[in-house]
Amino acid sequence: MHLGLVIHGGLDRLSGGFLYDRMLVQHLQASGWRVDVFALPWGSYLSSLALNLSAQLLSEIESSSIDLLVEDELSHPSLFALNRGVRRHIQIPIVSVVHHLRSDEGRSAWMNPFYRVLERTYLRGVDAAVCNSLATQRSLEALLDRRLPSVVAYPGRDPILPEIDPEQIRTRAIAAGPLKVVFLGNVIPRKGLLVLVEALSSVSAGDWRLEIIGDLTADPSHTRRLRRAIEQAGVADRVNLAGRLDGAALGRRLMECHVMVVPASYEGFGIAYLDGMAYGLPALATTAGGAGELVRHGHNGYLIPPNDAQGLAAGLVSLMKDRGTLAKMGLAALETYRSHPTWSESAELVRRFLFDLRGDVSRFAMAGRRSPYLRARGGSP
């Protein structure tokens, strides 16, 4: 099988969505598939719109002899019109990998209606979707006001388990000292770091430390705003902006912490919560999006409404004061991680879905009829 993948910037960028795409490509290649990556130039949302007019990209796709075209939904501003050109020249299924809809993110009231129009236009032009959670699948279908052929494949875990056992989690939880809170993710507005700083600044000074791990250059203006908020709150001595950490260095840092907190305004799934659970860290997440499919409130973490600094502080204080509950939640988090699908298992779900989709289209083409996948989309392939 020969697949084309359209993505902004390439597969080496650091975020949960790019990791998902990268692991999928690796699994497909290991399964004998050929994958051509069509990397779009990174730019602003508005500049990406111009790529719909790219004759070069259209020519590259048309001349590639691919059997399937898979597109990262985050690239929708560059593809909502270009896909029509693809349809006119080649009859192949177009599949969108949806991590979360841009129009589901919290932002100014006038912006999301604009994003919804473009995302709806784009999604009406694809034949099927790969979703990272049930929440993402439901959101996609609500936007389209109809069902779209799709598969839900959760972001996976590493098949090699970290070297941590239940006794280490218990010992770490009950040891004297402040609650060690860790944030993992790109430092961007959606991730809720300003809310976290506000919540922690309302808590007694000796009770906590915060480790911020993630790309500080993803949104430089927001990083400056975060630094000012930390200084103004008077908590700079308790916050460490570690920047990006990978591999063993990240593992060591997570091993030292007690709880993973990413109070995002919206997460399609939230790979950071899963990363923390690998080290027995309960997750404090929000109710917006798909985090609740991994985080069970009161079991392996807490679910707090977005932008609720008071509720977030209450959840943290409860773990500071009740280290027995912290230990129990840490053990539950580790068990959640160990029972979660691996990357290979999740990617295999997607591979079978794509294989069946392509086979369905081919059978109907040989019979001179349109596939029900394409018919469900409305219009000609």
Q: Do domains 2-156+342-377 and 166-339 have the same CATH topology?
A: yes
CATH of domain 2-156+342-377: 3.40.50.2000
Residue 373 makes CB contacts below 8 A (sequence gap 6+) with: 93, 127, 128, 149, 357, 360, 361
Mean pLDDT estimate for the chain:
90
Residue 184 makes CB contacts below 8 A (sequence gap 6+) with: 213, 214, 254, 260, 262, 272, 275, 276
What the block records as the tokens of 288 is: 């917006």
The architecture in CATH of the region 166-339 reads 3-Layer(aba) Sandwich (3.40)
CA dihedral 136, 141, 144, 149 (to 10 degrees): 100
Find the range with the poorest average confidence among 32-36, 103-107, 182-186, 321-325.
103-107
Residues 187-236 pLDDT 10s: 999 999 999 999 999 998 679 999 999 999 999 999 999 999 999 999 99
Q: How confident is the model at residue 361 (pLDDT cuts 50, 70, 90)?
A: low
For residue 271, count CB atoms less than 10 angstroms from its CB and return exposed for 0-12, middle for 13-18, buried for 19 or more.
Answer: buried
- Residue 367 confidence (pLDDT) above 70: no
How far apart (Å, rounded) are the C-alpha atoms in residues 163 and 156? Answer: 18
What confidence score (pLDDT) does residue 360 get?
67
Question: What is the domain partition of the chain in residue ranges?
Answer: 2-156+342-377, 166-339
How far apart (Å, rounded) are the C-alpha atoms in residues 291 and 51? Answer: 33
pTM of this prediction?
Answer: 0.89
